[in-house]
A and B are shown apart, each in its own frame.
Chain A
Amino acid sequence: MPTADELRIRAKRRSRAIQSLILILTIIAIWGAVSNAQYNLTRMNMTSGFSFLERDTGWDYSFSLVERSISDRYYYTLFIGLLNTLFVGFICIVTTTFFGFIIGTLRDARHPALSFAANVYVQIFRNIPLILQAVFLYAILIHLGGPRQAINLGDVAFLSGRGLMLPGLNISPAVSIGLLLASIAIAIGLIIAKTSLWRGLAIWFVSSIGICLLATAVLHPSGEPFFSVPSLQGLRFRGGISVPIELLALVVSITLYGSAYIAEIVRGGLSQVPAGLVEAGQALGLSRISIWSRIKVPMALRSIVPPLGNQWIFMMKATTIGIAIGFSDLFYITVNSISQSGQTLELILILMLTFLAVNYSIAIFTNWLNARLQLKEH
């Protein structure tokens, strides 16, 4: 009969053996992978290393926020891909959160027709794969026809199979990226300053529009109008903001799908707000809108933010379906770089590390946001 001490020593020994076994197996697996990769690369005479990043690409793609040409280097093209992914991801995070809150609130509404309609929406868009929705929407949009058959939206905006032409402020793309960053900085500043929810949103909205107008007033090309409105010239529209149809289809389909998911999160959060609080509000004579904005949403946010953060990471990852409809997101650019340069391992490594970095940043941000919200209770 072994003593307790002996048993403890035995257990310790076993745990050490298991752990070293796992370490050794991991090391062997990594060693095996590396040596096989080296062997396979030399066997097939493939070049390896990152020197290809300095080479010209020689090919073009559908969308970029900044100037691009076919003599861009690979690293610059990959950077444009990252910008596109972040851009689409950011837009989708904002739109899905916005529509998700509206639809989720409707789902939670007492009004039977409204909650039924919201339910129909959620059941349709949540239960069809996102990629199928994107392909479907893209197929419908590109059948709208060329610029000459464009649908005229009040003479200032046009929708055709090529894209959506919107009137815009007369500024260069680089300035608009700067403005976008400034707007994000204001939002983060407001969260740090612990501004209350609705006031913070209002300040953010007004000041973002304000700096846009200010920047246009200072920076727009002299002699040209303040606003730029699209007009048909030759094969395409000139002036205004041109949203390529690939970008439009991607953003709209992710928005439709993502808001159905966020609506469910919001509904769950709202329905967990204790009925007593709502009744207290009613007893104070608050209107329904005040009860919603001052009691239900602030209370619900605490249970909404963690799953919301997961959905935001999902949005970022969902941009990769852009490849199915010809939108040049980071994944598309990486896959095309692989087939044009053959540097498979290096490019996949860059892609994975980039996504890890982006998604860890979002996770850190939502954790931080969550901590902010929880602290407010004290």
Chain B
Amino acid sequence: MSIVNVAPPSKFDVARKTFIRNGFGSPLTTLISVIVIAGLAYIGWVLLDWGIFRAVWSEEDVSQCGGHAGACWSVIDARHRLILFGTYPFDEHWRSTLAAIAIVLTVVVSCQPVIWRAKRLAILWIAGFATYYLLMEGSLLGLPQVTTDGWGGLSLTLFLFAAVVLLGMPMGLGLALMRRSEMPVVRWFATILIDTVRSLPLVTTLFTAAVVVPLFLPSWLEGDKIWRVIIAFAMFFAAYQAEVFRGGFQAVSKGQFEAGRALGLSYWSILGRIVLPQVFRHALPSTVNMIVVTFKETAIVTIIGFFDILASGKAAYGTAVWAPYYIEVLVFVAAIYWVFIFLLGQYGEYLKGRMALAAH
């Protein structure tokens, strides 16, 4: 008598069988699998061989780099401080490091569902941003003052990112509300602003803010170049985020507004207590996506003369000794961007999946 296994096959088992059926089911699919896998493995091997096995790692060994077939990471060993901190004073780099960690922590903590209340998020971001600013600027903490002109590298990229999201989010909500308004002037105002900002390339908006806007302002309103650029960047974020919120509003049925009104609630309490929480929930995955895009787009500020991580990377290979190792520096910078953007993007995918589950 044989024992019949009546338990359902394990998930892994099913996945393995589907994999084999789809990938090796016929001679043609098997051939494709073999070619693709061999191709990927070859590319992977070449990269590993170049980047790790044959690489030169420390600054002292730079003489071994010439004629070597591997990567010369000596340039990173020697110049990583320039890449990460830009022209920030050398002795104060610890402040720049702590400040960057503050921003990264803020982002990580905001990914926890416990924090997802408008008030908590606002407090968290303002606190994270303030920590960054106090540390970098220094004068309020009794440290040597470093003005924004001296900020650079990865810290500057993170600063721009945090400031843009922090300012742009309420602006985006405001624009979305204005666009839904029953008052025509308000609606047109928001619509024109949103459509115009979305039609212009980001770099022209930022260039205008940096170079042209001062001509339009009285001297007391001009402020620092970096703040003008951040406000323009936040406008860009807000214009796109307003459309994200608009999608969220469309998912909330009109009946809820009417129900709230029938209960005698005011516009603002219907909005704040009933509608907005749902809007935020619906808009969450697209908002994460927008935040990822914003992080990526900060790289554009290098064109208008900010010393961000791309510009400081270029400066790092801008001397005779390091000029041949431009690939290593650019790979390093690209890897930093990639890790941040990939992780944020994966988190967005995870949220989307979770909400799709919740919707069933």
Contact = CB atoms under 8 A, between A and B. Distances in A.
Interface of A: 15, 18-19, 22-23, 26, 32-34, 36-37, 40-41, 110-114, 116-117, 120, 123-124, 126-133, 135-136, 139-140, 143, 313, 317-318, 320-321, 323-324, 331, 335, 338, 344-345, 348, 351-352, 355-356, 359-360, 363
Nearest to A323: B303
B330 interface: yes
A223 to B, nearest CB: 46
Tell me the dominant secondary structure on chain A's binding face.
helix
Nearest to B267: A11
Given A140-B327, A355-B199, A344 B207 contact: no
A136 B216 contact: no
Contacts of A41: 215
B296 A111 contact: no
B236 to A, nearest CB: 11
B204 A320 contact: yes
Contacts of A117: 36, 39-40
Contact of B342 (A23, A114, A123, A313): A123
Contacts of A131: 299-300, 302-303, 310
Interface of B: 19, 22-23, 29, 32-33, 36-37, 39-40, 182-186, 189, 196, 199-204, 207-208, 211-212, 215-218, 296-300, 302-303, 310, 314, 326-327, 330, 333-334, 337-338, 341-342, 345
A131 B200 CA distance: 17
Tell me the dominant secondary structure on chain B's binding face.
helix
Nearest to B343: A127
Contact of B338 (A112, A128, A324, A356): A128
A114 B302 contact: no
29 contacts: A19-B185, A33-B217, A36-B215, A41-B215, A111-B32, A112-B23, A112-B33, A113-B32, A114-B32, A114-B36, A116-B40, A120-B40, A123-B342, A128-B338, A131-B303, A135-B310, A136-B330, A139-B327, A317-B201, A318-B201, A321-B300, A331-B201, A345-B212, A348-B204, A355-B201, A355-B204, A359-B200, A360-B199, A363-B199
Given A135-B330, A335-B207, A129 B337 contact: yes
A124 B345 CA distance: 12
A344 B212 CA distance: 7
Contacts of B22: 110-112
A183 B39 CA distance: 37
